[in-house]
Amino acid sequence: MAQLFGKYGMIRAYLPAACVFLLAVALALSWFGVQALVFAVPFAFLACIPLWQDRRDTGDAATELRGALDRDLETSRKTGQGFACLLLRIAPAQVTALTLTRLRQSLRPEDRIFDLHTGEIAVLLAAVPGLDDPALVRLGRRLQAIVEEQIFTGDAPLHPTASLALCLAPAGCARSGTALLDGLMVTLDEAVRRGPSALLLHDPGPSPRR
C-alpha cells in the first residue's frame, strides 16, 4: 500500500512540470514551427526549476520526518515509553507559513515541527508524562483552535481550517517510521473527507511479533 501511495504521489508531484513543458512545446510549434523547439526546450526547463525545487524540499522534509519517527520508535523500544505525533492539513495552504509561526510559539522548544510544504505539518511531541488519548485529543483541539484563528491578508480576512490525525504510539507499535507515517496519512485523508476541522485518532496497531 505504501508503494502505491508513493507511486501516485510522484505522479501528482511531477504532473505540473510536465504540463508546463508540453504547453511550451505546443505554443512553439503553433507559432514558429518545428525549428522553434530549439528555443522552447531551454525555456521550458527553466520554468520547471521552481517546481522541481519544491518537490526536492518536500521530499527532504518527508525524509527527515521518517528518520525522526524511526529514531523515536527505536528509543521507545529501548525505554518502553511511547510518543505522540500529530499531522495537520491546513486550508488554504498559503497560510502555512503563519501557521508554523503560531505553532512554534505554542509548543515547547523540545517539540519538533516538520513543514511538508504541501499544506501539511507534522508535530512530534517530546515526552509528556501521563499523556493518554483523551489528553492528546484535548491538545489537538487546542492547537487546532490556534491554527484556525482568523488571518488578515490585505483587505480580505481568511478563516483557515485544520484537519488533524493524532497518534499516541506505544512502545514497539510500528515496524518503521514510514509505516507509521503512511498510516497517519490515511487517517488524515479520512479526517479531511469527514469535513472541515475534523480530528481523528490513528491506531498504530499492535506491536510487531519478533
pLDDT tens digits along 56-105: 444 588 999 999 999 998 888 888 888 899 999 999 887 888 889 999 99
Can you tell me the distance from the alpha carbon of 160 to that of 188, in angstroms, rounded to the nearest whole number? 17
Report all structural domains of the chain as residue ranges with CATH numbers, in order of start. 80-201 (3.30.70.270)
Residue 16 pLDDT: 56
How far, in Å, CA of 205 to CA of 183, rounded? 10
Helix axes 96-106, 133-147, angle to 10 degrees: 130
Q: What is the pLDDT of residue 199?
A: 97
CA pair distance 57, 144, nearest whole angstrom: 25
- C-alpha grid cell, residue 138: 484535548
Sign of CA dihedral 160, 165, 171, 173: negative
pLDDT computed for residue 29 by the predictor: 64
pLDDT of residue 107: 94
Which residues 6+ apart lie within 8 Å of 8 measured at CB? Answer: none
Provide the pLDDT for residue 54.
Answer: 40
- The per-residue pLDDT for 6 is 36
Report pLDDT digits (tens) over 54-70: 434 445 889 999 999 99
Distance CA 203, CA 87 (A): 14
Which residue stretches of the chain have pLDDT < 50? 1-14, 43-58, 207-210
